[in-house]
């Protein structure tokens, strides 16, 4: 694992939640809206929004090679992201 982002720790990861990221793992590239990074396994969880429905992708921490933050979500996207997972903690995240 040679990724600075993954070494950077929970505070930076939390600040990237709900942003669009690109994750490189074992020759695959996955784009999605960041739902969380597990602080134990460093697995990255992405939400892939489609016109109808959505899917969640968990990229296992050991396979992650690179993470790049692409963009912030606009208000509409943010609301869609939040509608899928609504733990109370979402409310205490900084906008």
Partner 1 sequence: SIPTSAGADTEQLLEEQHARSVLRERFLRCLLAMSNKKVHFRMHEKVNVEATFGASDIDVLNFQVSDLHTPIGVQKEALIRCHDVISLTFEV
Give the residues lining the site for partner 1 (CB under 8 A): 9-11, 13-14, 17, 25-26, 28, 30, 35-41, 43, 45, 47-48, 53-63, 84-85, 87, 89, 92-93
Q: Closest CB to partner 1 among 55 and 71?
A: 55
Tell the smallest beta-carbon distance from residue 76 to partner 1 (Å).
Answer: 18
Query: Nearest distance from residue 41's CB to partner 1, in Å?
Result: 4
Yes or no: say if 46 and 59 are a contact pair by the CB < 8 Å rule.
Answer: yes
For partner 1, the closer CB: 5 or 13: 13
For the chain, what is the radius of gyration of the CA atoms?
Answer: 13
Number of residues written out for the chain? 95
Q: Which of 74, 76, 63, 52 is nearest to 30 (CA)?
A: 63
């Amino acid at each position: 694992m040679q990724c600075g982002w993954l070494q950077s720790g929970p505070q930076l990861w939390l600040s990237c939640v709900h942003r669009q990221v690109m994750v490189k793992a074992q020759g695959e590239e996955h784009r999605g809206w960041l739902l969380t990074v597990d602080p134990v396994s460093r697995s990255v969880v992405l939400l892939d929004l489609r016109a109808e429905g959505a899917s969640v992708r968990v990229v296992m921490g050991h396979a992650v090679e690179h993470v790049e933050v692409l963009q912030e979500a606009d208000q509409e996207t943010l609301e869609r992201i939040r509608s899928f997972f609504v733990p109370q903690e979402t409310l205490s995240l900084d906008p």
